[in-house]
Amino acid sequence: MTDDWERALTAARDAVRDPDRIRSDRARRAAEVLCAEQELPLARSLGPQLTELVALLDGLGMADLSGALLDHVAASLRARPGLFDTLAPALGRLAAALAAHGRYEAATWASAASLEGATDRGAVLANLAALTLRAGDTARAAEFAFSARRFAGNAKGAEALAVSILGIAVSAEAARREGEHAEADRLVDELAWYVQRLVARVGDDHPASLSALAALASAEFASAEAAGEWVRMERAVDVLAVAAQRMAATLGGRHPRSLAVLRSLASAEYELARTSGDVRRLAGAESLVVAALRRAEGQWPEERQERPGQAGRHAAGRGRSGAQLRDAAESLIDGTDLLLAEEQAACVRRGEDSRPMRRRFTNIRRQLLLARSLLDDLPATAYALALDAGHELGELASTRRGDEGRAATGEDVAPEDASLNSPRRPAP
C-alpha cells in the first residue's frame, strides 16, 4: 500500500514538473487507486505524503480528486481511531485541507482531534475559529481566535503572520455579527497592519499574500457596509476582483484557494449590486455567484448548463470548442480593455472626468477583471461578462458623443450628475 502512495506522489510530481495530458492522466489514475484502498497504511510517513499529494493534485486542477482522497482519509480515521497516533503531526494540516475543499464538518472534527498534541497549535486554533464561525457560534469562534493569536504571539515568520491574520479576521467578523462595530473596525485596522507585514515578507503575488489581501478586503467591505459608505464598498470589491484574478493566474481557477477568493468576491459583488439598484449589475453578480458555486461543486463546463434566460447570452459560444470560446472571450476582453483606456483618456483630455464618469469606468474595468479571472474554467461566463462590459462602454461613449453634438449646435446638455438618478445608479 505504501508503494501506491509513492507511485501517486511520483506521478503527480512528474505531471507538475513537466505537464502534459499523458502525465496528468497517469497522476489521476494513481490517485484513484489510493481512493479505492480499503484501509490506509499505518506508516508514519503518510501525513506528509498526504498533504503533499493533495497540494500537487490541486495544482494540477484535480481538486475533485484530492477532495475524494481527503474524504477517504477522514472516513478511515473515524473507522480506525488507532490512526490518530500515526497521523498526529499531520492532523492539523489535514483539517486545513479538508476545510479548503469544503469538507467543513470533517475539518472541524479533525481540528478538534489534533488540538491535544498539535505542534502548530496556533494554526489549528485559527482554523477551528474560522470553522466555528462558519457554523454560527460567534462566541466560541472569538475564543478560539483569541487563543490562536496568543499562540502566534510576536513571532515574525510568515506562518505566524498568517495565523494572526486569520485570527484577527475571525475576531472582526464575530464582533461585527454581535453589533460591536467599533471593536470590529479597530480589528480591521490591526488586520491591515499584519497583512502589510506578510506582503513585505513573502511578496504581493504569493498565494498567502493574496489570501490575506482578500481577507482584508472582505473585512473592509463589511466595515463599509455597516457604515453605509458606498465608495469604500466599491474599493473593497475592486481589491477582491484583483486578488481573484491574480490567484487564478497563479494557482489555476479550480484551486481551493482560488475558489475561496472567488466566493468572497461573488458575495461582496452581489451585496454591492443588490444595494445599488443597478439591474444589469445585479444580474451579473447573480451569474458570478452561480459560477462560484459551480466551481466549488465541480460542475464543468458551465456553458452546457445554461440557466433560464441566458440562452441569448451564451448563443455566441454554441458550436465552438472550449478552446475557441476561450480565445474569443480573451480577444473580446483585450479589445474592450483597449477601448476603455482610449475612452477614459479622451474624457480626461476634454475635462469630462467627473466622479460619476469615473465610477462607470471603474465598474466596466471591474467587470473585465472578473471576466479575465474566469477565462480558463468558465469561458462562456467570461464572454458574457465581457460582452456586457462592451455594451456598457458603448452606451457611455454614445452618450458622450451625443452630448458633444448637442453642445456644438447650442442645445442644452443635462448635467452629468443627473446620471445618479438613473435606474443604473444608486439613489443619491
Q: Which helix (H) or strand (E) holds 246?
A: helix 230-251
CB 118 within 8 A of CB 91: yes
Half-sphere exposure of 74 (CA within 13 A, CB side): 25
pLDDT the model gives residue 315: 38
Query: Helices 355-373 & 379-408, crossing angle to 10 degrees?
Result: 160
Distance CA 186, CA 168 (A): 10
Does the pLDDT value for residue 413 go beyond 60?
A: no
pLDDT the model gives residue 374: 76
Does the pLDDT value for residue 83 go beyond 70?
A: no
More confident residue, 276 or 408: 276
E-strand spans in 87-139?
none
pLDDT the model gives residue 95: 82
Q: How far apart are the first and last CA of the chain?
A: 66
pLDDT the model gives residue 400: 63
pLDDT the model gives residue 213: 94
Q: Which of 6-20, 270-284, 396-410 holds the top average pLDDT?
A: 6-20
pTM, full prediction:
0.65
Handedness of CA 335, 338, 344, 347 (dihedral sign): negative
Averaged confidence pLDDT in the chain: 77
Distance CA 253, CA 237 (A): 18
pLDDT the model gives residue 204: 86
Of 1-10, 61-70, 379-388, which range is least confident?
379-388
- Per-residue pLDDT reduced to its tens digit, 378-401: 777 777 777 777 777 777 777 666
Longest dimension (CA), the chain: 87
Domain ranges in the chain are: 1-100
Average pLDDT over residues 36-41: 72
pLDDT class of 353 with cuts at 50, 70, 90:
low
CA distances from residue 402 to 164, 360, 389 in whole angstroms, order as listed: 54, 17, 20
pLDDT the model gives residue 105: 85
CB 317 within 8 A of CB 379: yes
Distance CA 289, CA 267 (A): 7
pLDDT the model gives residue 357: 74
